[in-house]
Amino acid sequence: MAGPGNTGTRGESEPGPRARLMQEVASEMDAIETEFGDAFEIGRVITVVEIIKRGPDGTGEGVGLRVRAGQYPWVALGMLDAAKKIVEAQMPRAD
């Protein structure tokens, strides 16, 4: 699905926004099932989506971020802080 450097531009063969989001969620679910097998349940969920707004001529007009969290704000902030630390730990380090 989305990879590093993905510009978000959509070619003729790429899915629309709704299908793209559904593919991303399905891919994440597959990865969770691969890692945890059947011994898990889904807890709280936060979605963070980059939105690239296009102008009438199809060129980029701006970028936004959509964050949805179905829990108390302080819980969402804690989860986002933990996620940030996980992503930072995955980054390659220059020695």
Q: Please state whether beta strands 46-54 and 60-69 pair in parallel, antiparallel, or not at all (unpaired).
A: antiparallel
Q: Which domain holds residue 53?
A: 17-90
pLDDT averaged per 10 residues, the chain (length 95):
51 82 95 94 93 83 90 94 95 85
Upper half-sphere CA count for residue 47 (Cβ side, 13 Å): 11
Among 47, 50, 49, CA closest to 69:
47
- Asked if the structure places residue 6 within a domain, the reply is no
- Sign, CA dihedral 58-12-2-42, equals positive
In this prediction, residue 1 carries a pLDDT of 45
- Asked if the structure places residue 63 within a domain, the reply is yes
Per the structure, how many domains does the chain have? 1
- Asked if the structure places residue 11 within a domain, the reply is no
- Asked if the structure places residue 12 within a domain, the reply is no
